[in-house]
Amino acid sequence: MKTIPRNHKHKVADIKKRATRCVVKSLRNDFAAEECAPSVAWADLERYDFARLVEYTDKWNVNVHGNLWYELREA
């Protein structure tokens, strides 16, 4: 698990290109994975200054807070 700083523009742009699948998990949906557009995750990353982009071995997460996060994956 590694947090990717927002100022690493090339790395973030590469992830945006590669991550074409997205699910949202939140308290609102009892943490069940719901499909959503990746643009929703990227918008929340920009909207909330406390949100973090985290890289895992097979996915990326946009962690907004403990009750809301997005899982991004390649197709």
Strands (DSSP E) contained in 1-75 are: 2-4, 19-26, 34-35, 52-55, 60-65, 68-74
The pLDDT of residue 31 is: 95
Q: What is the pTM of this model?
A: 0.93
Token pair, residue 62, equals: 């946009």
The pLDDT of residue 67 is: 97
CA distances from residue 67 to 21, 25, 31, 32, 38 in whole angstroms, order as listed: 20, 8, 8, 12, 18
Report the chain (75 residues): mean pLDDT per 10 consecutive residues. 95 97 96 96 97 97 97 96
Could you give the CA distance from residue 47 to residue 27 in angstroms, rounded to a whole number? 19
